[in-house]
Chains A and B, each alone.
Chain A
Amino acid sequence: MPKKTTVPGSLKNVTCPETGKIIGFQFDVRLPRYRGNMVSLINGYYVNVDGVEYPQDKIRFILNGKAPRTFEELKSAVWEHWNYRDAATLLVLKDGGLEKGDHVVNATVSNFEQYGYMPGRDEKRVADGGEPIVANPVGVGQSAAQSFVLTIE
């Protein structure tokens, strides 16, 4: 899998336009593969910043010019493609955002893209509506991503 799946220089805090308050931070990610796949297959992201893991319900996924979506919402994007060379943005909700300066960011995708049928696991992946989002996922298209130091200017 490619090396830089977290895009350097993309980390920044996000301000709510109405209140002017910082509601979280965001950074860009790339598909850790050699091809694109349907957006519906993105099951979630393991996100760890400076040792803090962020739960799935605090993460929003931004791609294809659409409003931020939850991973639950991504499940219905069954005909929408994540084009291989496009970066998606992960928006992490965190009041006050991150401090200025360097942060160690790890973002590892849980991707249901796979090489055809895997009886047993297929049904489980459908029924569970997902599987644990972990730092070291197993399977085609997913493995631990490298951590990167990103800076908030």
Chain B
Amino acid sequence: MAIHRGVSSYSYQNLIFDNKMNHRDFIRTVREDLDTDGIELIDETFIDDYPFLSEEFEYDWKDTIARYNMKSVTMDIYLDVLQFRDHVMNHEEATERLKRDIIIASRLGFENVRCLAATPVDVIEAALPTAEKYNVRIGQEIHAPLPLVVNPDTVNRLHFTAPIDEVDRVIEMIERTGTKHAGLVPDMGLFQHSLTPIMFEFALRSGCPAESVAFLKEKKGTMPDADLKVIMSEKFGEETVAKMARLITTQGSAKPEELLKVCPYIVSIHGKFYEMVEDPTAPGGYYDPSTNYAEIFKYLKEGGFDGYIDSELEGQGYCNDLPDDQMQDEREQVRRQHEMFKALGAV
């Protein structure tokens, strides 16, 4: 039993966009930069002519995985329900797409597919025979603002379509069917407790007055977001608040100890982060100022989690307005996160 380390191709999105990293470079980088084997793939980033996966890509992917002694852990799949343009895909069509994606994942040697949090549970259930036949687990992403635990005080802040008790519904389906081929992919943004320095710097560069950023820094988390928004609108005006809207409303939706509830169902984990900062108390060590990974690891170990946590760097959006040489170094950020993972007990 161990917590293994991996990386999602999402982390290197700027390098990939700039054609500086292809699928072979990606796999090699995870081995050479981080000395680990976990690979998570965003399907439509590297699979040309999707869904018509070529044998050439299939063979080359598997060869590269073998060459660097890696493991295809999770393939992230999507659900563009407007593909056909003349109608919204119905659930049966969504099931067909999920089944195809499972077969693609199987051809590429993946253990799991990660489907979107907004994928209806009945679609997952309908695809189970295919998942079982191809031995690929379907993991539904659990992403903020979905809660892990719903109680009478839970506020529904969902901006995508899912029932507020999505987690309970998936668990109910798993228990009822007894399947070993469905589970959850929690995104660690669930536990985000604070904003990070790059976010404040971004707000300042966007033209928000320094006092408004200082106010946000001080008050964020001390009151409900909606209230904070109202107060800030009065104090600093609508225009400023519009520029900071994403920061004001970004927040987690669960507590690390709630991981104990879902641990047995976790297929793999999205190690979401925005920025790794040097730890002043431990020179050469790094931590994520927005998310308490020490707590997360504590409960993952307590819950007996045996699987991969795959880095998912998402800070790029807060520095894309900067000159190239001042933008985030994605590889360095991921290296730092893995230093932290190891320090917290990952293998």
Contact = CB atoms under 8 A, between A and B. Distances in A.
Interface of A: 1-4, 30, 34-38, 40-41, 75-76, 78-79, 81, 83-85, 112-119, 122-123, 125-126, 146
A133 B6 CA distance: 40
A118 B42 contact: no
A41 B48 contact: no
B17 A34 contact: yes
B16 A34 contact: yes
Contacts, number: 109
B251 interface: no
Contact of B80 (A85, A112, A146): A112
Given A34-B16, A83-B49, A126-B82, A116 B44 contact: no
B59 interface: no
B249 interface: no
A117 B45 contact: no
B345 interface: no
Contacts of B14: 2-3
Interface of B: 10, 13-14, 16-19, 42-46, 48-52, 78-88, 116-120, 160-161, 316-317, 320-321
B83 A116 contact: no
**Interface majority SS on B: helix, strand, loop or mixed?**
loop
A38 B83 contact: yes
B44 A115 contact: no
A79 to B, nearest CB: 8
B78 A75 contact: no
B187 to A, nearest CB: 12
Nearest to A117: B161
A114 B81 contact: yes
Which residue, of A37, A116, A146, has the highest number of chain B Cβ atoms within 10 A? A116
Nearest to B42: A35
A18 B150 CA distance: 68
Contacts of A112: 80, 82, 85
B85 A36 contact: no
Given A34-B42, A36-B50, A81-B49, A115 B17 contact: no
A116 B81 contact: yes
A114 B320 contact: no
A123 B81 CA distance: 10
